[in-house]
Amino acid sequence: MKLNGKVALVTGASRGIGAAIASKLASLGCDVAINYAGNIQKAEETLNSVKAYGVNAQIYQANVANYEEVEAMTKQIIKDFGHLDIIINNAGITSDNLMMRMDQDSFDSVIDVNLKGTWNVCKSITRPILKQRSGVIINLSSVVGINGNVGQVNYAASKAGVIGLTKSLAKEFASRNIRVNAVAPGYVKSDMTAKLSEEITEKVLENIPLGQLGEVEDIANAVAFLVSDEARYITGQVLVVDGGMAI
């Protein structure tokens, strides 16, 4: 697999899965635009890891939930790198609570970042990517978006929405040689899951046939395959990477 000459945008690449995706793509020769929300120190760490592969890279602060910020970012990336071939909508948040206790802000903020944020990025690059007549988009969903989960009505709705968006966009963009797929991780070790109690983690582990939690690299490897030419005939799909948890 080689991605030399390609330029990728990875949203939420300062930490966790996004940082691993940025490094994996760089290891395949891809130039990388690293987006982050607020953690500049972590974004710079990703930048250093990516640059160690000898590719071009830059960091871009933008809140994906804000369309104006997203549009300014993608315009700047295209100006800086000349083109944009691979878009990874990875930025995401949780705000878990039982329905009884979940407030409106909690619902709105998760939808705004996870679902509207994905739409914002896709919308902002629609014109240039259609004109280019080539490109690949990967949206991070979750097994929770497929099966639902107690305490995650907001998150599950956002990630199910991402799947609908992915399939619709795959149909719209296919005639222009642009593939759109989703990756649905199970339980992956990151800051997002570090918030969960030991008890919950133990319970999750009991339900994973492969007997271990996922590593960020497991998701990055799946993404790398889907963006490569080896996946040229795959579009509109949801690749579940969960150690068998959702079987």
Residues in contact with ligand NDP by the rule CB under 6 A: 11-18, 35-39, 42, 63-65, 90-93, 113, 140, 142, 185, 187-188, 190-193
In the complex, the smallest distance separating the C-beta of residue 147 from ligand NDP, rounded to whole angstroms, is 12
DSSP 174: G
Of residues 91 and 180, the one with the C-beta less far from ligand NDP: 91
With b for 16 or more beta-carbon neighbours within 10 A and e for fewer, the 95-128 pattern comes to bbeeeeebeeebbeebbbbbbbbbbbbbebbeee
33: number of Cβ within 10 Å: 27
| E strand or H helix that includes residue 32 | strand 31-36
By C-alpha distance, which of 72, 220, 65 is closest to 241?
220
Q: Is 36 a catalytic residue?
A: no
Start-to-end CA distance of the chain, whole Å, equals 29
In the complex, the smallest distance separating the C-beta of residue 64 from ligand NDP, rounded to whole angstroms, is 4
Of residues 7 and 223, the one with the C-beta less far from ligand NDP: 223
In the complex, the smallest distance separating the C-beta of residue 2 from ligand NDP, rounded to whole angstroms, is 25
Which listed residue (36, 60, 155, 187) is catalytic?
Answer: 155
In the complex, the smallest distance separating the C-beta of residue 47 from ligand NDP, rounded to whole angstroms, is 13
Of residues 130 and 151, the one with the C-beta less far from ligand NDP: 151
Rounded distance, CA 80 to CA 78, Å? 6
Of residues 45 and 130, the one with the C-beta less far from ligand NDP: 45
Active site residues: 155
